[in-house]
Amino acid sequence: MKIRLSSSCAFLAYTLLVLIPLWLALDRLIWIAGPNPINWIGSLDENYISQGVVGFTFLQALLSTIVTLIIGLPIAWQLGRHKWPMQSMMKAVLTMPFVMPSIVAAMGFMHIIGRSGLNIRADDSTWYTTLIIAHAWFNMALVIRFCEPVLSTLEPAFEEQMRLLPAGQTKIGRLRKLWAPLLAPSVAAAACMTFVFSFTSFALVRWISLGDNTLESVMAGLGSSAGIPNYMVSRNEIILGASLIQFTVLLSSLWLMSILQQKRQSLLPQASEKFVKTNNNKGWMIVGPGLFFAVLPLIAVFWASFRIRNSDLSETTYSWGTGGWEFAFSSTNSMPSAWDALYNSLGYASLTLCIALPLGWTLAQTIVNVETKRPRYARFLDILTMVPFAASSVMIGLGVMLGMIRIDAEFFYSFWLTPIIAHVMITTPFVVRIMLPALRAIDPSYDECAQTLGLSAWKRFFSIRLPLLRGTILVATIFTLAMSLGEFGASWVITRNSDWTTLPIMIDSLRSIPYNNSLTTPAACAVSSVLMGITLLLFTWAEKFRPSKGGGMF
Amino acid sequence: MKLFTVLTLCLVFVASLSGCISQQLDDDEQVPPSQYEWEDDGELVIATYDVYGLTDELINEFENQSGYQVSLLKLDDAGSVLDHLLQHQGVQVADLAIGLDNTYLQTALDYNVLWEHSAELTNLSESSLLPYNGTYAAPFDQGYVCLNYDTNIVDGENYSVPLSLWDLTSEEWRGKVAIPSPETSSPGRAFMSATTDYFAHDSDNVSDWTDWWNAMSANDVIVTTGWSEAYETHYSGGYGEWTEGYVGDAHIVVSYCHSPGVESWSNGNWTKSAALNLPRASFHQVEYATAIEGGNLAAASAFIEYLLSPAINSKMPIENYMYSVLEQSDLPEEGGYRFNSVVPQQPANVSTTDIAENMETWLSQWNTAMVAE
């Protein structure tokens, strides 16, 4: 009974939390734009501001996915099939970009292509390629995480038997008949996720490809004039059209993803990595550049935080100094200090964790509990918890913003906790996704056994469940903290109507300050370095506790 | 099944809640000052964008003088300031808006989101009161919006200096002109307004201003969200080339007629940028400080008075790179500031009433012209 009550409460809280803001936003937007979805979608091409955006969004997401696979697959193969010194460390470095806040990646790439780097920024034909490569940097971790476990644990006998068969005598033959069918679900799942993340890219698009927008960045840009009666009605239509397309694409991707996830669970005989992996000296040619690629933008950010530009009419020189750091950590009337942003970010992250972890856990537990008896109902709940994935962070931000204006604008403006609403909405689905496989893996007989021994529910929780789930909880914890710290899209929309800033928003604002204050760029990089440092710390910690096998998608 | 009932109930609850809130959106009637209701909480929240003039020193001095605690709500551009006011109609969080100009002001007035301020203003120049002369908005700076070009590149050999706006639609200028969007930026909107007058008075009776924009769109004009992206990132003739993120693909940009003066003043009497003084292609822009409905009117009025005091406002050219609104004020001579600034003989003649009546239609026509093949 107690469990049922807590499950119902969790679902009620979650539904209210997710649906109220989205509902309020949709209600308001539809009220202004009219209820005709064909109009909404048509308005995308009828308006200069959003013309061509659908095409750009699809094409760049598709190309990003292809490039990510081209870069990620050889690295995953090398990691999975061969022995490497300091293997786990290497894997950590190669997968770390995925947890890096996108704004930090944007700053890193801006410096690689900027004047003190490759100096190709002025050539607008390079922007598209840069964006695609930046997306590949971000998402290659997905390919590695999804494919490497399949590669590293496949029973070697499979390949040996294959070699004896006519179809498996050549490398290409084995690739076609063994590896391709084996890896396909994992590659497809990674591709699917990469597509989703590139499709909803905001910070990278905002900074790298000037003038070209994704649906997500268009919505963010138009958000400020959304929901005003009789004013710029077309913008409401654009936002509705964009979110409708985005919602459909994301939902189909998630559906595809969940089918692929099930396929990936098909059981194949596994062997220890010790037997599977062989030595391969030539592999460095792939892994070496891969490692370099993974750390380059981060080094660029840190390096640029100390590099101060001095320009006059005759020449431009650079000097080294901590001016950018000092500028970032001192406050002015128009810009809070990085200390404030750090304090807010850490506060939001911890509070988000306090809400999202128990909430996500309870939701996941509920799904697991009903799964065997009522699979269809479990599926419904499962999809419900994924709604925020499909809504995208800018849409969530718009929902919260319009919601707060309608409920009590003044209160939310000065209320310190306002940004948390969006952070909880965004992180809870991830907690559910991380907790689900671990909860499914717990053998119910443990619990039953303890029950017959007379252990109370609390005792069973603390002495059985908690120790079994320790690793997963820590991964979920760290992931939630990292997500909240790096959250950009929703916060970007919300902080425009609130008194509070976070580290990622501060980076964006610092970089946007006009006029030639030579300290703003190093200052933006200094704040990026702080955010990067915290994320790295969390990530290293998470790697220690990652369950060795499976471990969910993250 | 119980769970399902709970979920359904909560959906019903959400739906009804959103219905209640929708009904709060009735249009407000204009309230006379005698009926204003507000309280002085000792704080002043200013909704603005990157207005250079709002320096730390200026704000600190105001805080010390008046005892008010000032905080800034930073928005993206003039368009976002207006959006913010409209979005928060009836539930405003800021007390004072700084940065609406004469192309945006009327919309704010129409939506009744402004209150009459009680600042005592004297010594304002006639020109600054030309577009609007009332107590809902106080002018604090002004200037002429016009095209600027990079004289190093537009030197008569590589590129010829345009003699009419139509010249910019030629192949030579493909992708080389940067204009901030009239939908989001105030100089962009000012320039668009100027083109309506320019093409209404040109010798060609066949085509109109929207045809020119359509041709510009076909000629790959660079349209940016705000002035800084156009001038700083894209324009090759300004200070942008010394900043990070500079692209420099445009040799003509919409900025101010006195921008070359600002360049020269900050570079020790040197600039390669010049204003393109075409008749009716420039626009007299006045920027306003406005008290927001429901806000701290005393604080807002005190700030307006402070901003327009001779000591502060006379510094506009240096602190804010705009003309002061005070009588008998001018740009300083130092560093070639005044020498390199152009005062257009024949700016576009677009009345405030015209703007008020037509802005929405113009914007929609502009949009249609820009997307048409």
Q: Measured between CA atoms, how close is A72 to chain B, in angstroms?
A: 29
pLDDT single digits (tens) B300-353: 999 999 999 999 999 999 988 999 999 989 999 999 999 999 999 999 999 888
Taking contacts as CB-CB distances below 8 angstroms, the residues of chain B near A47 are 367, 371
Contacts with B21 from chain A: Cβ below 8 Å = 24, 406-407
Q: Which residues of B touch A115 (CB under 8 A)?
A: 244, 246
Do the Cβ atoms of A273 and A152 come closer than 8 Å? yes
Pick the CATH number of A2-308+316-545 from 3.40.190.10, 1.10.1740.10, 1.10.10.10, 1.10.3720.10: 1.10.3720.10
- Chain B contacts in chain A segment 357-416 (CB below 8 A): 377, 405-410, 413-414
- Rounded to whole angstroms, the Cα distance separating A153 from A143 reads 16
- The pLDDT of residue A515 is above 60: no
- Whether residue B14 and residue A332 make contact (CB cut-off 8 A), yes or no, is no
Q: Which residues, in sequence order, are CB contacts of A516 under 8 Å at separation 6+?
A: A311, B239, B242, B243
What dihedral do alpha carbons A433, A437, A442, A448 form, nearest 10°?
A: 60
Residues of B in contact with A24 (CB under 8 A): 18, 21
Contacts of A509 in chain B (CB under 8 A): 74
- Chain A partners of B111 at a C-beta cutoff of 8 Å? 231
- Residue B9 falls inside a structural domain: no
B233: three-class secondary structure by DSSP: helix
Write out pLDDT tens, residues A289-329: 999 999 999 999 999 999 988 877 777 788 999 999 999 99
Mean pLDDT, range A455-472, rounded to an integer: 87
Distance from CA of A536 to the nearest CA of B (A): 27
Q: Which residue of B has its CA nearest to A405?
A: B88
CB contact under 8 A, A124 and B247: yes
The Cα of B85 is separated from the nearest Cα of chain A by a number of Å equal to: 10
Is B281 in contact with B165 (CB distance < 8 Å)? yes
Mean pLDDT within A383-398: 84
Q: What ipTM is given for this predicted complex?
A: 0.87
Q: What is the mean pLDDT of residues A432-438?
A: 88
Nearest-CA distance B246 → chain A (Å): 7
Contacts with A20 from chain B: Cβ below 8 Å: 14, 17
Query: Across the interface, do B249 and A110 touch by the CB < 8 Å criterion?
Result: no
Is some CB atom of chain A closer than 8 A to the CB atom of B372? no
For residue A519, what is the DSSP state? T
Confidence label for B101 from pLDDT (cuts 50, 70 and 90): very high
Contacts of A1 in chain B (CB under 8 A): none
Among chain A residues, the shortest Cα distance to B90 is held by A409
Domain for residue B272, yes or no?
Answer: yes
Report the CATH number at residue B309.
3.40.190.10
Q: What is the mean pLDDT of residues B192-200?
A: 96
Per-residue pLDDT, A404:
83
Question: Which structure tokens are listed for A94?
Answer: 């190669």
Report the Cα B368 to chain-centroid distance in Å: 22
Give residue-wise pLDDT tens across range A203-222: 999 999 888 999 999 999 88
Query: Which chain A residues are closer than 8 Å to B24 by Cβ?
Result: 406
Return the ∠ at Cα B221 (arms to B215 and B225), rounded to 5°.
Answer: 125
Backbone torsions φ then ψ of A552, nearest 5 degrees = 70, -170
Residues of B in contact with A124 (CB under 8 A): 247, 249
How many percent of chain A have pLDDT more than 70?
Answer: 95
Establish if B52 touches chain A: CB-CB under 8 angstroms.
yes
pLDDT averaged over chain A? 87
Question: Could you count the other beta carbons within 10 Å of the beta carbon of residue A171?
Answer: 9
Q: Which of B191, B224, B222 is nearest to B76 (CA)?
A: B224
Pinpoint the alpha helices (H) of A34-126.
Answer: 37-46, 53-81, 87-95, 102-113
Which domain range does residue B346 map to? 144-284+334-371
Chain A to chain B Cβ contacts (< 8 Å): 158
Cβ within 8 Å of A, B 187-216: none
CA distance B101 to B160: 33
Can you tell me the mean pLDDT for A86-111? 90
Interface list for A 180-219 with B (CB within 8 A): 210-211
Q: How far is CA A551 from the centre of its chain?
A: 17
In a domain, residue B18? The reply is no
Estimate the share of chain A in helix, then strand, then coil, as percent rounded to the nearest 5.
80, 5, 20
Which ranges in chain B belong to alpha helices (H)? 2-22, 56-66, 78-87, 105-110, 126-129, 186-200, 209-218, 227-228, 259-266, 297-307, 310-313, 316-319, 352-371
Q: Which residues pair with A318 in a beta bridge?
A: A309
Same domain? B244 vs B296:
no
Please tell me the distance in Å from A530's CA to the nearest CA on chain B.
Answer: 21
The first and second tokens of residue A116, run together, are: 């003190």
Task: Report the residue of A212, A312, A383, A406 to disrupt the B interface, i.e. the one with the largest count of B CBs within 10 Å.
Answer: A406
What pLDDT does B22 receive? 43
Structure tokens at A186: 């994992």
How high is the pLDDT of residue B42? 93
- Spell out the residues 6+ positions from residue A98 whose beta carbon is closer than 8 angstroms to its own: A138, A139, A141, A142, A145
Rounded to an integer, the average pLDDT of A353-378 is 90
Q: Which of A233, A251, A245, A244 is nearest to A29 (CA)?
A: A233
H helices of A265-322, in order, are 273-276, 284-304
pLDDT digits (tens, 9 = 90+) for B1-27: 454 454 444 444 444 444 444 434 445
Whole-model pTM? 0.90
Q: Does B18 touch chain A (CB under 8 A)?
A: yes
Residues 6+ apart with CB under 8 A from A193: A139, A142, A146, A253, A257, A553
Q: Is A288 helix (H, G, I), strand (E, B) or coil?
A: helix
Task: Please indicate whether, in this complex, the C-beta atoms of B17 and A20 are within 8 angstroms of each other.
Answer: yes
B84 with A409: Cβ contact below 8 A: no
Q: Domain coordinates of chain A in residue numbers?
A: 2-308+316-545
Q: Give the one of A27, A45, A48 whose C-beta lies nearest to B22's C-beta.
A: A27
Residues in a beta bridge with B63: none
Q: Does residue A278 sit in helix, strand or coil?
A: strand
Please report, as a single letter, which amino acid is at residue A187.
V
By DSSP bridging, strand B222-224 and strand B96-101 are: unpaired
Full DSSP string of A127-168: HHHHHHHHHHHHHHHHHHHHHHHHHHHB-HHHHHHHHHSGGG
Nearest CB partner across the interface for A409, out of B86, B88, B366: B88
Same domain, yes or no: B268 and B181: yes
Q: Do A238 and A225 touch, CB atoms closer than 8 A? A: no
Q: Based on the fold, state whether residues B222 and B348 are members of the same structural domain.
A: yes
B224 and B338, same structural domain? yes
Would you call A122 an interface residue with chain B, using a CB distance cutoff of 8 Å? yes
Q: Name the 3-class secondary structure at A176.
A: helix
Number of domains in chain B: 2
**Nearest residue in chain A measured CA to CA from B246:** A122
More confident residue, B292 or A92: B292
Same domain, B224 and B356: yes
Banded pLDDT at A514 (limits 50, 70, 90): low
β-strand pairing of B43-48 with B96-101: parallel
Nearest CB to B239 within list A7, A497, A516: A516
The rounded mean pLDDT for chain B is: 89
Percentage of the residues of chain B whose pLDDT score is greater than 70: 92
Dist. CA A107–CA A97, nearest whole Å: 13
Tokens of A216: 């997500």
- Of A139-148, A267-276, A381-390, the range with the highest mean pLDDT is A139-148
On whether both B355 and B255 belong to a single domain, the answer is yes
pLDDT-derived band at A548 (thresholds 50, 70, 90) equals low
Closest CB to B10: pick one of A16, A221, A316.
A16
Which residues on neighbouring strands pair with residue B256, listed in sequence order? B145
pLDDT at A547 over 70: no
Residue B210 sits in the same domain as residue B242: yes
Region A386-412 average pLDDT: 84
